[in-house]
């Protein structure tokens, strides 16, 4: 089922949590709301779920007005960061809860409930834990039970609030791939909130980058990473080198004296988009090698250009070929640069070359 958010605003006292948010989530998509803490992403999710009411704006489910529908009647599955399993109920009873509280007319029979719960526990591969209590499960198991519980009522929409936030790295990675596969099998419209850009880029069909109660960019994971719409998105999704420069039309002249009348601008270059050369080439910057750190499959090189520190990531092969030493003089050439006018956030497509 599709979800539509129209001009939603929400304030908490003087704090603007959401400022005129518009968003469309087509049926069957897995969408990530990505942003730093306090950007309003959880508030937006809770407004979709009906647990929080918006000050202004509308929420539509499948084109129908749902803004004033009570949370219990919205038929959304909600998964909490800290699982929120019913601690005094067994795993089986947790999953069965949504079925047991249905009005008598539509409540499935005891046998049907048993069947449904067992099927769901098999789906999350935890049927052998049916008689345990939540306190006896690991974090990853708890979150999978929470997911089974949310799916038991056959929700039209699945909402996940930082679902993997409380888990350790390895479990988090496994669980998010598992969620992606589960989503591909079930095709239920899902929205999940995260502050982890890697998680959003890996799992989601579309990423909604949020900051200070506003949407900065909506796009596919590849789009938001390789074509960020604003300096914020650039800096939030991965590391970036920032160069203050003067803009000459399409040409950014970084770190050189003089400059045209077009005004101040800032150039953004990802560390892996910088080439290191031993001799000067057209449009290259001179720099001195400060430090070389091999980190896993990459080698991170810190270089100094005038007073600025520049970070470059090389593959191990390239680093071996270059054989960099500390204090060495090298020339940098960016493969891809993006220039945003400063200080106003008006965006300008930058050319290549410095």
Partner 1 sequence: MSTAASRRANTEPRWLRVLLLCVGLGFLFFFLALPLLAVFVEALSAGWSAYIEALDDPETRSAIALTLLVALTVLPFNVTFGVAAAWAIAKFDFRGKSLLITLIDLPFAVSPVVVGLVFLLIFGAQGLFGPSLAAHDIKVVFALPGIIVVTLFITFPFVARELIPLMQAQGKDEEEAAISLGASAWQMFRRVTLPNITWGLLYGVILANARAMGEFGAVSVVSGHIRGETNTLPLHVEILYNEYNAVGAFASASVLALLALVTLVAKSIVEWRMHRETRMLAEALPAEGNPGRGRLVAPVSPASGDF
Q: Give the start-end residues of each E strand in the chain.
A: 3-12, 15-25, 30-34, 56-61, 64-65, 76-79, 157-161, 189-194, 206-211, 214-219, 241-248, 251-254, 264-269, 274-277, 285-295, 298-305, 308-315, 329-334, 338-341
Residues in Cβ contact with 290 at an 8 Å cutoff, skipping those fewer than 6 apart: 302, 303, 304, 309, 326
Question: Which range in 120-128, 242-250, 307-315, 322-330 contacts partner 1 by CB under 8 A?
Answer: 120-128
Among 53, 115, 125, 315, binds partner 1 (CB under 8 A): 125
Toward partner 1, which CB reaches closer, 31 or 150?
A: 150
- Applying CB under 8 A, among 1, 60, 80, 238 the residue interacting with partner 1 is 80
> Is there a contact between 338 and 226 (Cβ–Cβ < 8 Å)?
no
CB of 222 to partner 1, least distance (A): 23
Q: What are phi and psi of 112, to 5 degrees?
A: -65, -40
Q: Which position among 112, 131, 168, 286 is part of the footprint of partner 1 (CB under 8 A)?
A: 168
Alpha-carbon span 235 to 229, nearest angstrom:
11
- The answer to whether residue 92 forms part of the interface with partner 1 (CB under 8 A) is no
77 is a site residue for partner 1 (CB under 8 A) = yes
Choose, by CB under 8 A, the member of 109, 185, 258, 349 that binds partner 1: 185
How many helices and strands in the chain, by DSSP H and E?
Answer: 9, 19
Closer residue to partner 1 in complex, CB, 112/264 = 112
Whether 290 contacts 309, CB under 8 Å? yes
Site string for partner 1, 144-163 (x = CB under 8 A): --x--xx-xx----------
Q: Is residue 187 a contact residue for partner 1 (CB under 8 A)?
A: no
Q: Classify each residue of 244-253 as buried b or exposed e, where b means 16 or more C-beta atoms within 10 Å of its C-beta.
A: ebbbeeebbb
The answer to whether residue 137 forms part of the interface with partner 1 (CB under 8 A) is yes
What are the helix (H) ranges across 231-315? 231-236
Q: Distance of alpha carbon 103 from its chain centroid, rounded?
A: 38
User: Can you tell me which of 135, 306, 323, 327 binds partner 1, judged by CB under 8 A?
Assistant: 135
**Do the beta carbons of residue 134 and residue 87 sit within 8 Å?**
yes
Instruction: Map residues 18-37 to x or -, x wherever contact with partner 1 holds by CB under 8 A.
Output: --------------------
349 binds partner 1 (CB under 8 A): no
Min CB(98)–partner 1 separation in Å: 4
Among 68, 181, 279, 293, binds partner 1 (CB under 8 A): 181
For residue 133, cis peptide bond before it (omega within 30 degrees of 0): no
The total number of residues shown for the chain amounts to 354
CB 76 within 8 A of CB 69: no
How many residues sit close enough to partner 1 to count as binding (CB under 8 A)? Answer: 50
Minimum gap (Å) between residue 174 Cβ and partner 1: 5
Rule CB under 8 A: say whether 51 interacts with partner 1.
yes
Closest listed residue to residue 291, CA positions, set 309, 315, 271 = 309
Of 68, 73, 105, 257, which one interacts with partner 1 (CB under 8 A)?
Answer: 73
CB nearer partner 1, residue 41 or residue 144: 144
Q: Which residues bind partner 1 (CB under 8 A)?
A: 49-51, 71-78, 80, 82, 84-88, 97-98, 101-102, 122-123, 125, 128, 133, 135-141, 146, 149-150, 152-153, 167-168, 170-171, 174-175, 177-178, 181-182, 185
């Amino acid at each position: 089922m599709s979800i539509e958010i129209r001009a939603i605003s929400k304030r908490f006292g003087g704090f603007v949590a959401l400022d005129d948010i518009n968003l469309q989530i087509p049926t069957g998509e897995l969408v990530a709301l990505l942003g730093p803490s306090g950007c309003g992403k959880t508030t937006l999710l809770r407004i979709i779920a009906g647990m929080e009411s918006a000050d202004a704006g509308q929420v539509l489910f499948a084109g129908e007005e749902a803004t004033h529908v009570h949370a219990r009647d919205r038929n959304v599955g909600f998964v909490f960061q800290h699982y929120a399993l019913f601690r005094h109920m067994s795993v089986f009873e947790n999953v069965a809860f949504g079925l047991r509280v249905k009005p008598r007319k539509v409540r499935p029979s005891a046998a049907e409930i048993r069947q449904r719960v067992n099927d769901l526990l098999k789906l999350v591969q935890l049927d052998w834990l049916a008689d345990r209590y939540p306190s006896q499960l690991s974090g990853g198991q708890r979150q999978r039970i929470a997911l089974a519980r949310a799916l038991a009522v056959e929700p039209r929409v699945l909402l996940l609030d930082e679902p993997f936030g409380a888990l350790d790295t390895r479990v988090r990675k496994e669980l998010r791939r598992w969620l992606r596969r589960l989503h591909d099998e079930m095709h239920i419209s899902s929205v999940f909130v995260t502050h982890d850009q890697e998680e959003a880029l890996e799992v989601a069909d579309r990423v909604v980058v949020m900051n200070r109660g506003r949407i900065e960019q909506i796009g596919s994971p590849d789009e938001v990473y390789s074509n960020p719409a604003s300096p914020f998105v650039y800096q939030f999704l991965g590391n970036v080198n920032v160069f203050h420069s003067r803009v000459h039309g399409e040409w950014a002249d970084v770190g050189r004296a003089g400059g045209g009348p077009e005004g101040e601008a800032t150039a953004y270059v990802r560390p892996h988009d910088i080439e290191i050369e031993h001799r000067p080439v057209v449009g290259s910057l001179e720099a001195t090698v400060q430090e070389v750190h091999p980190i896993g499959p990459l080698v991170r090189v810190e270089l100094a250009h005038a007073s600025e520190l520049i970070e470059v990531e090389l593959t191990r092969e390239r680093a071996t070929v270059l054989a960099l030493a500390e204090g060495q003089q090298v020339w940098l050439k960016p493969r891809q640069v993006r220039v945003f006018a400063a200080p106003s956030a008006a965006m300008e497509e930058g050319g290549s070359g410095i």
